[in-house]
């Protein structure tokens, strides 16, 4: 049975990500989730200054990644506006008239190259994620959602906020390590996932966690033992994917709009 991308599947307790065997269908699914992810960011009023990117590894050319074409507003994201970027930073498929999104290339190429387990990465400048990152401090277990990250996060303390070449991205990748979240000093948040849906779901969750940290600076954290108990349920990859499902249905009610 082929993919039906004109409607969302039902959400059930046992629902989880699908991985089509057909590589063309898998590519299409990743592109669909990316485009919806960009529209989720737009609905949350993120990326209005052209900042941020969601990327996904191509299932055949695994050293290439897809990203929204440079100059396209997040709210207008569709599959046919995505570009495929090569390891040397060239657009090899998709609209190329505006050139390569070099910020995306400099950050995401090294991250995806270093982390073969990741399919996607997400980053943009958000009100609370950027604010919290200025503290150069990791998340603490001060909310239920924060337990998703307290044992699976990293911190990049470099001052190179303008990532002008791949070396900056390589430093971020090294700092990310094997975590799913990296707090970039004075810059914001970056998340990785095994699908674009998972990366976006984790990113929005991390922003919500940052909001709690910003608004409750004197919060009392729960113990490590209690946090580990919560994390055992929340830190699963399916939780990030599920967060995307709820966000998508609320903020992008008609998924067919991204089909072009």
pLDDT at 235 over 70: no
What does the alpha-carbon distance between residue 203 and residue 46 come to, in Å, rounded to a whole number? 12
In order of 8, 147, 219, the CA distances from 228 in angstroms are 32, 7, 18
> Facing residues of 155 across strands?
183
What does the alpha-carbon distance between residue 32 and residue 19 come to, in Å, rounded to a whole number? 13
The percentage of residues in the chain with a pLDDT greater than 70, rounded to a whole number, is: 98
Residues of the chain by 3-state class (helix, strand, coil), percent to 5: 45, 15, 45
pLDDT band at 113 (very low <50, low <70, confident <90, very high): very high
User: Which two three-digit tokens encode residue 230?
Assistant: 């919560």
User: Which two three-digit tokens encode residue 257?
Assistant: 């709009």
Tell me: the pLDDT tens digits for 14-39?
A: 888 888 999 999 999 999 999 999 99
Q: Which is nearest to 43 in space by CA: 185, 246, 188?
A: 246
Phi first, then psi, for residue 78 (nearest 5°) are: -140, 165
pLDDT at 236 over 70: no
Walk me through the domains of the chain, giving residue ranges and CATH numbers: 23-250 (3.40.225.10)
CA atoms within 13 A on the CB side of 188: 22
- pLDDT at 1 (0 to 100): 45
- pLDDT at 182 (0 to 100): 98
Tell me: the pLDDT tens digits for 182-206?
A: 999 999 999 999 999 999 999 999 9
Q: Which is nearest to 221 in space by CA: 131, 132, 146?
A: 146
Average pLDDT over residues 137-152: 96
CA atoms within 13 A on the CB side of 165: 1
**Total-model pTM:** 0.96
């Amino acid at each position: 049975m082929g993919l039906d991308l004109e409607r969302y599947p039902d959400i059930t307790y046992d629902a989880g990500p699908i991985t089509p065997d057909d590589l063309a269908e898998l590519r299409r699914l990743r592109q669909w989730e990316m485009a919806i992810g960009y529209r989720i960011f737009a609905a949350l009023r993120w990326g209005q200054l052209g900042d941020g990117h969601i990327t996904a590894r191509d299932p055949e050319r695994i050293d290439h990644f897809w990203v929204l074409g440079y100059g396209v507003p997040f709210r207008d994201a569709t599959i046919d506006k995505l570009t495929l970027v090569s390891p040397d930073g060239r657009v090899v498929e998709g609209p190329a008239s505006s050139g390569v999104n070099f910020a995306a290339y400099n950050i995401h190429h090294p991250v995806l190259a270093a982390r073969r387990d990741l399919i996607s990465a997400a980053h943009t400048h958000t009100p609370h994620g950027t604010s919290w990152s200025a503290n150069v401090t990791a998340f603490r277990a001060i909310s239920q959602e924060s337990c998703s990250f307290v044992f699976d996060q990293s911190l990049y303390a470099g001052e190179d906020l303008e990532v002008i070449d791949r070396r900056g991205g390589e430093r971020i990748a090294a700092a990310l390590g094997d975590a799913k979240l990296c707090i970039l000093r004075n810059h914001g948040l970056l998340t990785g996932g095994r699908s674009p849906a998972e990366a976006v779901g984790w990113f929005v969750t991390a922003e919500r966690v940052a909001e709690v940290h910003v608004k409750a600076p004197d919060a009392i954290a729960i113990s490590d033992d209690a946090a580990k108990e919560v994390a055992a349920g929340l830190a699963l990859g399916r939780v990030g994917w599920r967060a995307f499902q709820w966000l998508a249905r609320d903020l992008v009610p008609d998924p067919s709009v991204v089909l072009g």
